[in-house]
Structure 1
C-alpha cells in the first residue's frame, strides 16, 4: 500500500464527514410501543435524523405532557446507506417529551467516525400537525460529536439540519411516507446538503398473528446531493448518490426487532471520498481532484443489519 500524504488524507477525511452524522435510533422510533401493548406499525425509515422521533400515527394529546424512552443495540449503525460504526455493533438510547403537536428530545449513540468523537448526541424539536389525513413532522435537529480527537481544519463536524416529513395511510394495511432534509453547512464543511426520500409500509393484519405481536414490512429509497465545500477542504462537492433499504419489524409488547438490508450506488472510490474511511486501501481508480491516491472503502456497500430495542410511552 502506498504511504498516505497526511495533509491530503486529513482534508479528504474532514470533507468526507459531511454525510456521516445521523440518528441511529431513528428507524426504530416510529414504532414506539406502550408498555404491554404491541406497536401498530414499524416506522418507514427515510434516512431519518429525527424524522420519525415519535410515533406520528398516534393522535397527540392536547391536555397533558407525554414522555417516551427507548434503548437498544444494532449489529451496525447505517445512516442513508453508509456505516457510522465501521460495520461494527452500536448501542443507543433516546428520550422525548410531547405536548399536543409539539415535541422535543435527545438521543445518544456510539459511533466510529474519522474524527474519532466519544459518541453522537442529537437534540431535536418541532411540531407534528395532522392535515388532511396526513401526519406531518416539521423539525430541526442539532448533531453534536463531543471529544473529537481529530477535529480537522474545520474544528469538528457539529451541525444542524431542518426536515419535513409526511406519513399517510392507504386503507388499513398500507402506508406511504415522503420527506426532505436540508442543512446549510453539513458537518461544518461549508457545503449545503439536501436529501429527498420516499417509502412504503405494509402492516400484517392482526388476526393473522399471535396475540400481542405486530409485524410490518417497510422499504424506502433516497437521494443525497451537496454544494461545494470550503476552499481549505478542496472546494469540491461530495458525490451525489442513491440509497435504498428494505426489511421487516417485529414488535411484542415493548420489545422490537428489525431485520433490514441497506445499499447504495456509490463506487468504492467515491465511498472513500464520501466517508473518509481511515481503513481505506489503495488499488482503485485515481481522481486528481477528489481521490488522487485511488483509495477504496467498503463503508457504503450492501449490508444486512439486525437491531433490537425496548420502547416505552
Structure 2
C-alpha cells in the first residue's frame, strides 16, 4: 500500500593517467590512485501525514486523515544491486476495528543502465481486529462474544495477506521516466481467492531552472492500474455460511498529481478515482459508515500528503 521508496547509488571513480609513447623515454609505471571507500550499508526512513490513506483507489481510513512511517535497512552488493528489508505503519479505519496496518517487506533492486527493477514480497498485517457479525454477541458467522455494527455488514477478524511483486522503471532522460508494476496474492485480504494488481506509471520532473536557486523541485506523475478479484469464501456469502460466496468484480483505478520537493520534504497533491460501482465498493470494504448497501470509499477524491524521507548515507 502504498508507499514511495528512496533509491541509493554508490559510485566508484578510478582515474587513469595517459601519455603517448613519443613523450616517454622508457616504460614508466605510475602509482594507482587510491580506491574510494564504499560503505555498502544504508538505512532509509521517513514519515508522512495525508488527508486520506488511499490504496488502489479505495480509502483505508474512512476518508479521514492518516499518518504513516517506515524504516528500511539496505545492503548494496555493488552500485547496481541492492538488497533491502523494511517495515512501515499506517493508521487505518476498518470495520473489524483493526489497530493499524503494519507492513513487513523485503526484496532486491537490480539496475541495468536506464532500467531499474524491484522484486520482493510484501506482507500486510492488521493486528487487533475483531470478528464482526450480523448480531451483537456473535453466533451467526462469528464466535460467541463477537461484535456487530448497525448497518449489518460483516468482516473477518484477520484480513492480513501478502503479495509477491515485480516493478520496472525506465529513465529516458533527466525529465521523463515510465514504469510498470505487478502484484500477486494467493489470498487477497483473506477473502479466499487469488488476486493480481498491475499498473503503468509515469513521471515528469519539472526543470529545476523553473524555481531558480530556491531549492524547490516539482514533478507530475500518474498511474493507471487494474485489480483482478474473485469469489469470496462462505464467510461473506448471503445467506451466511453457504458455499456460494460473493463475487467481487474486477475494477480499474487511476491517479494523477503534482508534487513539490524541498530538501527532504515532498508535498503531493493528487486526484484518484475508480470505475467501481458503489455496491461493489460496499462488498469489498464492508464499509461500517455506509447504509449497508453502497459505499463512497471508492469514488473520486483529491488528497494531500506531506512526507519527509532521508537516508543515513545522505546525512553523514
Q: Could you report, residue by residue, the CA deviation over 1:120-160 in whole angstroms, capped at 9, with x for unpaired residues? A: 10001000001352100001011111111336755411111
Moved more, 166-175 or 77-86: 166-175
Q: Could you report, residue by residue, the CA deviation over 1:182-229 in whole angstroms, capped at 9, with x for unpaired residues? A: 000111221111011001111011122233211010011100012332
Tell which structure's C-alpha radius of gyration is larger. 2
Deviation at 1:254, TM superposition (A): 1.3
User: For 2:192 and 2:96, how far apart are their aligned partners in 1?
Assistant: 17
State the structure with bigger RCO (CA 8 A, min sep 6), 1 or 2. 1
**Equivalent residues in 2 for 1:142-157, closer than 5 Å:** 142-150=123-131, 154-157=156-159
Deviation at 1:305, TM superposition (A): 0.3
Moved more, 271-280 or 59-68: 59-68
User: For 1:249 and 1:264, how far apart are their aligned partners in 2?
Assistant: 21
Residue equivalent to 2:112: 131
**Equivalent residues in 2 for 1:104-123, closer than 5 Å:** 104-123=85-104
SS at match of 2:247: coil
1:200 and 1:220 in contact (8 A); partners too: yes
Match of 1:158 among 157, 160, 163: 160
Please state if 1:80 is matched with 2:56.
yes
Residue equivalent to 2:205: 203
User: For 1:182 and 1:303, how far apart are their aligned partners in 2?
Assistant: 26
Unaligned runs of 5+ in 2: 12-37, 77-81, 134-141, 143-155, 238-244, 312-316
Please state if 1:59 is matched with 2:5.
no
Deviation at 1:231, TM superposition (A): 3.0
**Equivalent residues in 2 for 1:94-113, closer than 5 Å:** 94-100=70-76, 101-113=82-94
Unaligned runs of 5+ in 1: 1-21, 30-52, 283-294
Please state if 1:246 is matched with 2:246.
no
Residue equivalent to 2:222: 219
Judged with a 3 Å threshold, the aligned counterparts in structure 2 of structure 1 residues 155 and 278 are, in CA distance, closer, same or farther, namely: closer
Deviation at 1:60, TM superposition (A): 5.5
Residue equivalent to 1:275: 285
TM-score, length-normalised on structure 1? Answer: 0.76
Please state if 1:230 is matched with 2:233.
yes
1:114 and 1:150 in contact (8 A); partners too: no
User: For 2:203 and 2:157, how far apart are their aligned partners in 1?
Assistant: 40
Deviation at 1:54, TM superposition (A): 3.1
Aligned pair count reads: 251
Task: Indicate the RMSD between aligned Cα atoms, in angstroms.
Answer: 1.7
1:66 and 1:99 in contact (8 A); partners too: yes
User: For 2:96 and 2:282, how far apart are their aligned partners in 1?
Assistant: 14
Residue equivalent to 1:93: 69
Match of 1:71 among 21, 40, 47: 47
Judged with a 3 Å threshold, the aligned counterparts in structure 2 of structure 1 residues 155 and 279 are, in CA distance, closer, same or farther, namely: closer
Deviation at 1:83, TM superposition (A): 0.3
Match of 2:184 among 177, 182, 198: 182
User: For 1:268 and 1:155, how far apart are their aligned partners in 2?
Assistant: 24
